[in-house]
Structure formats: structure tokens, C-alpha cells
Structure 1
Amino acid sequence: MADAAPQIPVTVLTGYLGAGKTTLLNRILSETHGKRFAVIVNEFGEVGIDNDLIVDADEEIFEMNNGCICCTVRGDLIRIIAGLMRRSRGFDGIVVETTGLADPAPVAQTFFVDEDVRRKTKLDAIITVADARHLLKQIDQAPEAQEQLAFADIVLVNKVDLVDAGGLATVERRIRNINPYAKIHRTERCDIDLVQVLGRDAFNLERILEVEPGFLHEEHEHEHDDRIGSLSLVANRPMKPNRFVPWIQDVTQRYGTDILRMKGIASIEDDDRQFVVQSVHMLIEGGSRRPWKELEPRQTRLVFIGRDLPKDLLRQGFEACCA
């Protein structure tokens, strides 16, 4: 039987207004890397202008102008990707640039909900570009700025030439408060080796755990003055499958609008394999992966990143799942 066609990696670029998303996109399109990308631009409003700001390139640009934080975006994205897959000339990757006012969730959820999209493409990474000079004010004033950081797999702290060392440390500390797990890079005009942002497989929790086994080893919760924060839960006892699975499903349905990202690895009673679970809002996926290694601690570690998380309830529910 012939091998299935490889999945095309999708990179999502997000970040608040003026952070430098289009600058990064232009670098991706203009640098000599020998790859061909399809670009999908989601603008807020009926008249698109970002297309006019993107460098003249061989790539094809598709605009989605009729929605932002709603299911319209997901439907448009599914249709555009389906059209791309029918073309005879292939792509090495797809780049989706969201509007600066966007919640990245509808884009990320597309790769959970549509079976055809899921089979032909894979979400490689959510990259958030942050304006080092203005980010602190944006975090305080705009929920979208916090959500974009919370969803990120990779954060580019851009315009670092406009901020002193102390200011940069403060900015990165605030980012870490919101999302302790994203990889942070400092940039000027988004000047970065594209190897650091493309083909990272950063949204794939199994891949992350293979490369960085300690990825989920944060054992403390992060307290700060913003509504969005993180909670890490750790258990050394295995989980009862008839408790853990219904509990995690109930949590995502009950609190999913406020849980932006959830990811984790669980030790299930009477199962020698690791159980990996991750979600975006109310959409959740999970399954067994490789066997636990002989000397590997069989711990369950869950990470929640969200808004006004019910931490005590989550902690109690988690502990009730232990064998």
C-alpha cells in the first residue's frame, strides 16, 4: 500500500497590533530557503490592506476578511486549505497571519475539528510577535494581547532595540507569568534564523517531550496581576482511567471558554504507556503513546493556561482521579 502523503506544516503568526507580524512574514517569504509557502491573511474588517504590505513573492496570498473571533474564520480556513490541497503544485508549508485583534483559538481549533484538514496538514507552531516597548501596556489594557501570549508555542520579543535591559527583563517576566512554557527569542525587526520558527513541531506535545523530557516539570503555579495565568498539577500516583478521562472531558466542557490551552502527560493505572492529552478551549484530544522507560518516573503532569482558572476545583478534581 502506498504511503500516505506527508502532512503539510502550518505556522500561525499572531500578536497585537503593530508588533511586527507582517515583518516576520516578509522575512519568511523573501529569505533564500528554497521552500514555497501558501499565505493566508486574516484581517479585521471588510477591506484588506495587509496583502498590499506583503513583499512581492511567488507565493499566493489568500485573504479572509469577513470575521475574526468567530466560527466564520474556521469555515473560511477549511475552504481555503481544501482548495490548496487540490492544486497540482504543492507547498512546503502554510503560514496563517491573524489580525492583531484576534484570538488564535479558531485557527488552532481548525486542526482539531475538521478531519480532512487534520489528515492533510498539521499545526506546527503558534508564533506570537510581541512589541517589547508597548507590551506591558497592551497586557494591562487588551485581553487579546494576553490571550495571544497564552496560546503561543514561540514568542518573539520584537523591537528590543527600543527597550533597555531592565525593561526587557520585566517584559519577559510578564510573558512568563502568562505562559511559562513558550520559547522566547529577542529580535529587532523580527530578524531571526527561520530555523527557530519554521518546522519546529512545537504544537506536538509528544515531539516536545521527546526533545525536552522536562517540558512539563514546572511544579508551581504562577501568580501575577493578570487574569490569565497557569496552573501545573503533578501526581506521583497513577490515574484511575474511569475517573481521569471523564474528569478531563468535564473540565474542558465546563471551563473550556476560559481554558485557553491545556496539555499534559498521564500515568494511567495498569497501563505501561504514557497517555498524552491536550486541548484548545473545549476541543480536546488524547491517546496513548510510547511505553514508560524503565527508570522514568511515572508521574502525571498537567498544565492549564487560562483566564480566572478555578484552581482549587481543578486541584481537587485532579487529586480525586488518583488511584
Structure 2
Amino acid sequence: MSMPAERTPVTVLTGYLGSGKTTLLNRILTEKHGKKYAVIVNEFGEVGIDNDLIVDADEEVFEMNNGCICCTVRGDLIRIIEGLMRRRDRFDAILVETTGLADPAPVAQTFFVDEDVRTKTRLDAIITVVDAKHLLGELDKAHEAQEQLAFADIVLLNKTDLVSAEEQKQVEERIRRINPTAAIHGTERCGIDLEKILERNAFDLDRILEVEPDFLDVFHEHEHDDHVTSFSLVTKDPLDSQKFMPWIGMITQHFGMDILRMKGILAFKEDNDRFVVQAVHMLLEGDHQRPWKEDEERVSRLVFIGRNLRKDIIEDGFLACRA
């Protein structure tokens, strides 16, 4: 029996205008990293990919001189991915750039929802590029800037050369308030070892929990006026899966458009395995992870990141799921 082919990792790249996304994209397309990427961009003209890099261009697919392939999302994403998958031997990973889109979720969701796409690809990470100098002003004015941070698995805090160490610290604290679980990397001109951001499997909660078991614990809640906020729910009492599953389904349906990301580890009564859940909007997935260790405290934790979420209602429901 043939083994299923390795699924191609997909990185979704987002970021506010002027944050340095294009710089990062051009870096990926020109560096001698020995990898080949298929890059899907929204509109080729807007992206500002250096024309000198393009070797061969037909309408939708462009070949770059370092062997990467680019295509534009004029067509629908699923169709493009299916087309790319027919030439899978030509690249190692896929990068999707969501130009100027407020919300990278529909792109991310494609890799969850479409069965065919799912068997061939896996969402590796959502990366948000932000401008260290202008981020705080943007967050106060533009809801999109907050929402892009909410979805991130990895944040590239770019242009750190333009701010003082103290200012950088303030910006990082503000990012943490919106998204307590993303990895943050400070950069100048998006100069970062690409291995730190590509093919990290950062979307996969299981993998992160293996590396950092207390990944969801780092949490300080404070009152603030951001439109996107985060909070965590914790209980040491075992949960009843018969109560929890219908409840979380109802919550994601009801608040789905406002739940931007949700991640959690759960301890169910009469279950020796940790159960891991995560959601992007209404798309929810959950699975058993590894067994709880002998010395491990069986604590259930859910982290919600979203727009104006009613913590009181959600917390009451969560606590009602205790066994």
C-alpha cells in the first residue's frame, strides 16, 4: 500500500499596508534558500514584485528566476491550488499573500474546508507583518490592523530600527493584549532567517504544545478599549464531553463571526488523553492529543481572541460543562 504523499505546507501572509509584506515576499523570492515556493498573490500589479525576477509569465502563473512559481488569485483559490498540485514536484511549499484584505480567515479556511485541498496541503502558519513605528496609531484607527493580529500564529514586528527599545516593548505589549499566543519576531526590512517563519507548523496546536506545554498559560488580562480582545477560561475540574461538544458548537455558531481564533486544551472526565481544539471563525476542529502525564495537572484552558466577545456569557457556559 502506498503511503499518502506528504502534505504541502501553506503559509498565509497578511499585514497592514506599508508594513513590509512585499519586502518579505521579495526576500523569499530572491534568497538562495534552496527551497522553491509557489506564491499566490492577490493582484500581481499591486504587489510590487520586482519584474526583473520574473522569467516566464503566462496569464496566471509566473516563474521566478530562483525557480519559485507565482500565480494570482484572480481565479478562485481552490482552482489555483488544484492547478498547482498538478505540478507539485516543482515546489516545496505554498505562500499565499492576502493583499490589503482585512481578514485572512477566508484564505485560511480554504485549507480546512475543501476536502481535496486538505488531503494535499496543510496550513502551516498565518504570518502577520506589522510596522513597529506605526502600529499603535493604526490599531487605534483601523479595526483591520487589530483583526490581522488576532489571526496570527507568527507576528513579524518589522522596522524595529525606527523605534527605541522602550517603544518596541510597548508595541509588543499591545500585540500581546490582542493576541497572547502568537510568536513575535522583531526585524529590520523583514530580515529574518526564513526557517524561523516558514514550515514551522505553527498552526498545529499539537506541535506547539509538545514544544511548549504551557503555551496557553501565559496570560494577563486587563481592561482596555481594543475592539479585538482576548481572554482565557480555566478550570481544574474535569469537563463532561457530552456537555462540552454541543456547547462549543453552539458558541462557535452563535459568536462565530466575532471569534477570530480560539485555541484550547481540555481534560475530559474518564479520558486519559488531552483533547485539543481550535477554531478560525466558525470552523472548529478538535482531536485527542497525547495522554496526560502522571505529574501533569489536568487543567482545561480555552483562549478566545475576538471582537467584543461577551466573556461573562461564554465563561458561564464553559463552567456549566464541568462534569
Asked if structure 2 preserves the Cα contact closer than 8 Å seen for 1:11 and 1:124, the reply is yes
Shift of 1:224: 2.0
**Alpha-carbon distance in 1 for matches of 2:165, 2:128:** 21
- What is the identity percentage for the equivalent residue pairs of Structure 1 and Structure 2? 63
Structure 1 CA distance, aligned partners of 2:188 and 2:45? 26
* Partner Cα distance (1:319, 1:217) in 2: 18
Q: Does 1:48 align with 2:57?
A: no
Question: How far off is 1:219 after superposition?
Answer: 5.0
Structure 1 partner of 2:215? 215
* Inter-partner Cα distance in structure 2 for 1:25 and 1:232: 34
CA-to-aligned-CA distance 1:245-269 (integer Å, 9 cap, x gap)? 0010000000011000001011111
CA contact (8 A) 2:177 2:221 kept: no
Deviation, 1:104, is 0.7
Partner secondary structure for residue 254 of structure 1: helix
| Cα deviation, residue 171, structure 1 | 1.2
8 Å contact 1:240–1:322 — kept in the other structure?
yes
The answer to whether the Cα contact below 8 Å between 2:180 and 2:219 also exists between their aligned partners in 1 is no
Q: 1:116 to 1:38 in 2, by over 3 A?
A: same
2:172: which partner in 1?
172
**Residue 188 of structure 1 aligns to which amino acid in structure 2?**
E
- Tell me the amino acid that sits aligned with residue 273 of structure 1: D
* SS of the residue 1:49 aligns to: helix
The amino acid that maps onto 1:94 is I
For 1:297, what is the secondary structure of its paired residue? coil
Displacement of 1:169 in angstroms is 1.6
In the alignment, is the contact (CA less than 8 A) between 2:22 and 2:49 conserved in 1?
no
1:198-236 deviations in Å (ceiling 9; x for gaps): 111000000000000010113543432211111101111
Q: Which runs of 5+ in 2 are unaligned?
A: 54-63
Alpha-carbon distance in 2 for matches of 1:87, 1:11: 18
Of 101-110 and 219-228, more deviation after overlay is shown by 219-228
Question: What is the alpha-carbon root mean square deviation over aligned residues?
Answer: 1.5
C-alpha distance in 2, partners of 1:296/1:230?
25
CA distance in 2, matches of 1:88, 1:171: 40
Distance 1:240 1:65 in 2: 46
Cα distance, 1:49 vs structure 2: 2.8
Name the CA shift for 1:88/1:316 in 2 (closer, same or farther; >3 Å): closer
Flag the 1:31–1:82 CA change in 2: closer, same or farther, 3 A. Answer: same
SS at match of 1:129: strand
The 1-side partners of 2:24 and 2:319 are apart by 43
Q: Residue type matched to 1:61 in 2?
A: C
Q: Does 1:27 align with 2:27?
A: yes
Counterparts of 1:90-129 in structure 2, within 5 Å, are: 90-129=90-129
Secondary structure, counterpart of 1:203 in structure 2: coil
Deviates more, 1:12-21 or 1:93-102: 93-102
Give ranges in structure 1 of 5+ residues lacking alignment.
67-75
Match of 1:64 among 56, 73, 88: 73
Aligned equivalent of 1:73: none
Would you identify which runs of 4 or more consecutive aligned residues in structure 1 move more than 3 Å? 51-55
Looking at structure 2, the residues matched to 55 and 311 of structure 1 have their Cα atoms a distance apart, in angstroms, of: 51
- 2:314 paired with 1:320: no
Structure 1 residues 191 and 54, CA gap change in structure 2 (3 angstroms): farther
Distance 1:25 1:167, change over 3 A: same
Q: State the one-letter code of the partner of 1:179.
A: N
What amino acid maps onto 2:217 in structure 1? H
Conserved? CA contact 1:218–1:232, under 8 Å: no
Task: Give how far 1:176 is off.
Answer: 0.9
1 CA distance for matches of 2:51 and 2:93? 17
Which residue of the partner structure matches residue 157 of structure 1? 157
Question: Partner amino acid for 2:106?
Answer: P
1:299 corresponds to: 299
- Write the distance in 2 (CA, Å) between the matches of 1:170 and 1:219: 17
CA contact (8 A) 1:48 1:63 kept: no
Deviation at 1:14, TM superposition (A): 0.6
1:70 aligns with none
What is the aligned partner in structure 1 of residue 59 from structure 2? none
Alignment match, 1:247 = 247
**SS of residue matched to 2:89:** coil
Q: Distance in 2 between matches of 1:187 and 1:307?
A: 28
Residue in structure 2 matched with residue 189 of structure 1 by the alignment: 189
Post-superposition Cα deviations, 1:24-77, rounded to whole Å, max 9, x if no partner, equal: 11111211221111000024xxx83316446612222111247xxxxxxxxx11
**1-structure distance, mates of 2:100, 2:46:** 13
Number of aligned pairs?
311
Change (3 A) 1:84 1:168: same
- Give the aligned partner of residue 61 of structure 2: none
Moved more, 27-36 or 182-191: 27-36
